[in-house]
Amino acid sequence: MSTASVFIAGQFRTAERTEPVIEAATGELLGHGSSATESEVDDAVAAARAALPAWSATAAGERAALLLRFADALLARSATTNELCTRENGMPIRLSKGANGMFPAVLLRYYADLITAGGDEEIRPALIGHTIVRREAVGVVAAITPWNYPQALAAMKLAPGLAAGCTMVLKAAPETALDALVFAEAAAEAGFPAGVLNVVAGGPAAGAHLVTHPGVDKVAFTGSTGAGRSIAEMCGRLLRPVTLELGGKSAAIILDDADLAATVKGLKNASFVNNGQTCHLSSRILAPRSRYAEVVDAVAALADGLTVGDPLDKATDVGPLVSDRQRRRVLDYIDIGKAEAKLVAGGAVPADQPHGWFVSPTVFADVDNSSRIAQEEVFGPVLAVIPYDTEEQAVAIANDSEFGLGGTVWTTDADRGTEIARRVHTGSIGVNDYQLDVAAPFGGVKSSGLGRELGPEGLAAYQQLKSIYRVGPA
Ligand code: NAD
């Protein structure tokens, strides 16, 4: 695989323009990725447009067979993909194995099964005659992804999009330009017709050119709320369907009956996974005032006890942030937090990590929910512990946020936890854990996004409906 390629119309081409990709743990050059030019984006869209009529008319069974071959080809590369992603963005290798190595194949197989089981047409009796309700591919899709879960988030678009009969242009983030080409290699090996999947990488300018391109029918975006708003504006003007998976500032509500040892074990994943660079993290910890000191101590001890270091080491819990820019952003938020609340863990670059973009797991106590570290997405290993007096107040604090993406409730009474979960205004929430479910919709409310990925709902996002009215009985 050339490190500076784009994949267009079934061919790898030398990228017209390149950008360095830096290894997160060392700060050293890892390779060069494409920084797509307008003409490369134009060619990618043209290739997808040309491939659309045949691919969207391909029988579901044939599309499913290709998705399965695609899954196998990705799995065959998973060991090198995991490691490459970890080098690019600092994701601990244990997580990368699942998120980058396994998950895309699992999703491709899930959507292959779904389109094999369900037909494209359904007949509904009408008052006069009957109607054939048809699900058709929405068309050429622009899939724009961030760097934090590069393979998983791309697969959350490619798998349902290709299953639905759409053709795709994937524009990966420049920080993870290299692993995006694994999709291209695997698609070529699987035998997709030329132009069904096209892969480029690049920054906001390439993304904006793709979003507004006249040859694109739908945009599927994951990234920051700021970029999402700008994309929504462009799509609004064009009346172009768009799915937006954006930022979050979710709450972990610890109820007064919680088993604190089990809760803290769970928060390791729910609040710190991927070095804090996960959109659905429970980064606000809501603790009952009766147990506040105990919770603060336990969460601080969790942060202090995490193994920070080489993300390629299986023992590492927290690796580096993706980039120097991201580390500066997180350190700025830590300074803001120091002025707003009480620092009880971390709060600096770890002294034993002079290279790469490390930040110590950090916890603030005595946080007011109106403060910036409670309201703004930090996107790093930084938690805010907020006291509450009553369950009603806990729910109100959880809901007092511009975001609504994830969240968790921690309790020894799962039914009580579920009742609280029902009252939190969010797209997804876990009771005593948080795990994405391939078969269940994932997405946000409020400033966390529009639409859903995963599950049958994630397939529907790549389909449009057509009603064909007919006279007489069905
Ligand atoms: P980002 O918005 O800066 O970039 C994301 C992608 O969009 C990149 O490929 C980038 O090149 C492109 N882009 C940026 N501006 C654009 C524009 N105006 N037009 C078109 N494309 C544009 O986000 P990031 O910093 O790379 O990722 C972190 C953000 O992503 C966080 O806010 C996080 O919460 C969010 N995120 C959300 C989810 C989710 O499912 N809701 C999942 C992961 C990450």
Residue 391, H or E segment: helix 391-399
Contact assessment for residue 92 and residue 187, using Cβ atoms and an 8 Å cutoff: no
Enter the DSSP assignment of 92. Answer: -
Given a cut of 50, is residue 142 above it in pLDDT?
yes
Reported as a single tens digit per residue, the pLDDT across 159-179 is 999 999 999 999 999 999 999
Separation CA 274–CA 247 (nearest Å)? 15
> What percent of the chain lies above the pLDDT cut of 70?
99
Reported as a single tens digit per residue, the pLDDT across 412-421 is 999 999 999 9
Average pLDDT estimate for 468-473: 94
User: Sign (positive/negative) of CA torsion 78, 41, 207, 407?
Assistant: negative
Reported as a single tens digit per residue, the pLDDT across 205-259 is 999 999 999 999 999 999 999 999 999 999 999 999 999 999 999 999 999 999 9
> What percent of the chain lies above the pLDDT cut of 90?
98
Q: Which of 91, 224, 233 to mutate to test the pocket of ligand 1 (most atoms within 8 A of CB)?
A: 224
User: What's the confidence (pLDDT) of residue 30?
Assistant: 97
Separation CA 3–CA 30 (nearest Å)? 10
Given a cut of 60, is residue 1 above it in pLDDT?
no
Reported as a single tens digit per residue, the pLDDT across 92-119 is 999 999 999 999 999 999 999 999 998 8
Contact assessment for residue 201 and residue 7, using Cβ atoms and an 8 Å cutoff: no
pTM for the model stands at 0.97
Contact assessment for residue 30 and residue 39, using Cβ atoms and an 8 Å cutoff: no
User: What's the confidence (pLDDT) of residue 313?
Assistant: 98
Distance 431 CA to ligand 1 centre (A): 28
Given a cut of 50, is residue 2 above it in pLDDT?
no
Given a cut of 70, is residue 3 above it in pLDDT?
no
Residue closest by Cα to atom 40 of ligand 1: 245
Residues with a CB atom less than 6 Å from ligand 1: 144-148, 153, 171, 173, 203-204, 207-208, 211, 222-224, 227, 230-231, 245-248, 279, 377, 379, 405, 444, 449
**Letter for the amino acid at 413?**
D
User: What's the confidence (pLDDT) of residue 259?
Assistant: 98
User: Sign (positive/negative) of CA torsion 64, 456, 415, 291?
Assistant: positive
Instruction: Please provide the average confidence, as pLDDT, over all residues in the chain.
Output: 97
Given a cut of 80, is residue 409 above it in pLDDT?
yes
Separation CA 402–CA 391 (nearest Å)? 20
Given a cut of 80, is residue 331 above it in pLDDT?
yes
pLDDT band at 474 (very low <50, low <70, confident <90, very high): confident
User: What's the confidence (pLDDT) of residue 38?
Assistant: 98
| Angle (nearest 5°) at CA 370 between 368 and 374 | 75
Distance 246 CA to ligand 1 centre (A): 7
Kindly tell me the burial class for residue 448, based on how many C-beta atoms sit within 10 Å of its own C-beta (0-12, 13-18, 19 or more): buried
Specify the ligand 1 atom closest to the Cα of 224: 32
**φ/ψ bin of 308: left (φ > 0), alpha (ψ from -120 to 50), beta (otherwise):** beta
Average pLDDT estimate for 49-56: 98
Residue 416, H or E segment: helix 414-423
**Letter for the amino acid at 225?**
T
Given a cut of 90, is residue 473 above it in pLDDT?
no
Q: Which of 88, 245, 377, 453 is flagged as catalytic?
A: 245
Domains in the chain, start-ordered, CATH in brackets? 5-246+446-470 (3.40.605.10), 250-431 (3.40.309.10)
